[in-house]
A and B are shown apart, each in its own frame.
Chain A
């Protein structure tokens, strides 16, 4: 049935590395085993919706089996059958109808823009940098702050940038990983067609998830795609952005899976943080390739885990508390939301702040000293 799996030697490295295997019913090795010997056990819950598609399994597999693709296959089989959890259904229907997974109408997509506004690209226009904001920073109130910080930083860099405003539509990264391959194809075709209406020099994203799919899964996109950390890091090196204000804090960086593990961007975020005066940057024991997933990927932002065991984000926040940091920095809207939620549930709100790198930079660049403590 599944050619993807034929290389599997049942060594179990996938399951050993899987961050959710310890807290859920998902056991990748067993799942593959059942598929290989063709056990059909339709009614059993294999926990396939627990997977965050962080890709640790695929990266660690000595035989190069793309395990995540297998999970996506299993999900897509359920999606085609139609009987999926209501949250999965509602998320997918929202993307189909409104172009975002948050159930919000398109007209409100650019409502986050404040003050002087941002240049919104019109058909036929040429632009050096297109900032692809992404569904979550467009609609979700906490991460709207990230998009606002991005705009403030970009404005100081005298860069020629614009956004798509209400024309922007879901990139499809999570949709593909939820197994709705038809909807992903549709989004890819629609977005590719939309991008062709403009003359875009480079597109960069808030989210590593959008970045991942544009970079690796849009064959006809026709221009460079970057995550904002690489663009901003370059701007700092070129001295177009000058961090000036002191940010006297002990900071640890959470590597987003779709930025680090899956796209090998480890240095740039750390370099940005390193260039902000005052920061003492420390590392998690598990960092970079070994970084612990926050559980926000693969559709898990909208699909609740069946497990009552401690969330990985809570584990991560406790690790950060042990390091004695003031701030957990990240560069992904999903990490930001899951970690911030975990800070609340672990009652560490007084001790630890969760911030996107761009928020820290915005404070420094704009000499904002409104640090809350």
Chain B
């Protein structure tokens, strides 16, 4: 089975302060640490598990700057076969649609049985690239996949719906799935593995300009301070006491 996995290099912003740069269209990236997008990491692991069962190749695709090679190398260290990085001239103004468009071209050239990617990115969070890509490739898709079983030329997948409900579908290959976190337990990429992977060649697609953006960021801004909780001040002892009094006063204890 030949599998394509689309991955993205994203900044870790869970704990870090995020600042907007002077263009108001980007964030300041200097202080941030980057990693493979969380959901993409689960998609990659799903591909690796399939490869172990059915043999075949995994090709990684990413749209990003030169530094995105880091996440490709991480994937190669874990067992992917080869990697393609796409770096258009107008990288900074891409939207989800043009990212999908850039991915579609090289993926179309090869006959993949399966295309996997994460169901959401931790930066833009559109949940858009995967399903758009499926349409551009002309293959069926399922998003938010939390379980998949392959039988011959079809796959039974379970999609995660709201409220803990799952929706089961049967889909014929070739197909594209966007993978939900928690579907598996991603493996570790050792530093020696990453160093060895550095010797593998990463195919680079550059000196191109993509057209046809559908959306554009007008400006970024800090979310307006909304309603704020009454923050209890004091030491551990004091705040614990205060909270107990409040809860007791409301008849909640």
Contact = CB atoms under 8 A, between A and B. Distances in A.
Interface of A: 79-84, 86, 88-89, 92-93, 96-98, 104-108, 180-183, 185-186
B16 interface: yes
A83 B33 contact: no
B17 interface: yes
B33 A97 contact: yes
Interface of A is mostly: helix
A284 B217 CA distance: 67
Nearest to B195: A182
Interface in B29-72: 31, 33, 35
A107 B17 contact: yes
B15 A105 contact: yes
B14 to A, nearest CB: 9
Interface string B183-224: 001111111111100000000000000000000000000000
Contact of B188 (A82, A98, A106, A185): A82
Given A82-B193, A97-B12, A105 B33 contact: yes
Contacts of B17: 107
A92 B187 CA distance: 12
6 contacts: A82-B187, A86-B185, A88-B188, A93-B188, A105-B16, A182-B195
A101 to B, nearest CB: 14
Contacts of A82: 77-79, 187-190, 193
Contacts of A88: 188
Contacts of A96: 191
A37 to B, nearest CB: 29
B192 A181 contact: yes
A105 B16 CA distance: 7
A83 B190 contact: no
Contacts of B188: 79, 82-84, 88-89, 92-93
Nearest to A79: B190
Contacts of A81: 187
Contacts of A79: 188, 190
A88 B190 CA distance: 11
Interface string B116-138: 00000000000000000000000
Which residue of B187, B191, B192 has the most chain A CB atoms within 10 A of its CB atom? B191
Contacts of A108: 15
B33 A183 contact: no
Contacts of B195: 182
B61 to A, nearest CB: 21
Contacts of B187: 81-84, 89
Question: Closest 3 A-B residue pairs measured CB to CB?
Answer: A182-B191, A82-B187, A182-B192
Task: Say which size band chain B's interface belongs to.
Answer: 20 to 34
A180 B16 contact: no
A276 B190 CA distance: 47
Contacts of B78: 82
Interface in B65-90: 77-79
B191 A107 contact: no
A183 B15 contact: no
Contacts of B192: 80, 181-182
Contacts of A104: 15
A191 to B, nearest CB: 15
Interface string B70-114: 000000011100000000000000000000000000000000000
B190 to A, nearest CB: 5
A190 to B, nearest CB: 12
A84 to B, nearest CB: 5
Contacts of A183: 190-191
B186 A80 contact: no
B243 to A, nearest CB: 19
Nearest to B193: A80
Contacts of A181: 192
Nearest to A90: B188
B16 A107 contact: yes
Contacts of B77: 82
A103 to B, nearest CB: 8
Nearest to B48: A82
A187 to B, nearest CB: 9
B35 A97 contact: yes
Contacts of A182: 190-195
- With most chain A CB atoms within 10 A of its CB, the pick from B15, B16, B77, B190 is B190
A109 to B, nearest CB: 12
B103 to A, nearest CB: 26
A106 to B, nearest CB: 8
Nearest to A78: B188
Interface string B11-23: 0100111000000
A43 to B, nearest CB: 15
Given A79-B188, A97-B12, A104-B15, 10 more contacts: A79-B190, A84-B187, A86-B185, A97-B35, A105-B12, A105-B16, A180-B190, A182-B193, A182-B194, A185-B191
Contacts of A107: 16-17, 31
A148 to B, nearest CB: 16
A108 B33 CA distance: 13
Nearest to B191: A182
Contacts of B79: 82
Contacts of B185: 86
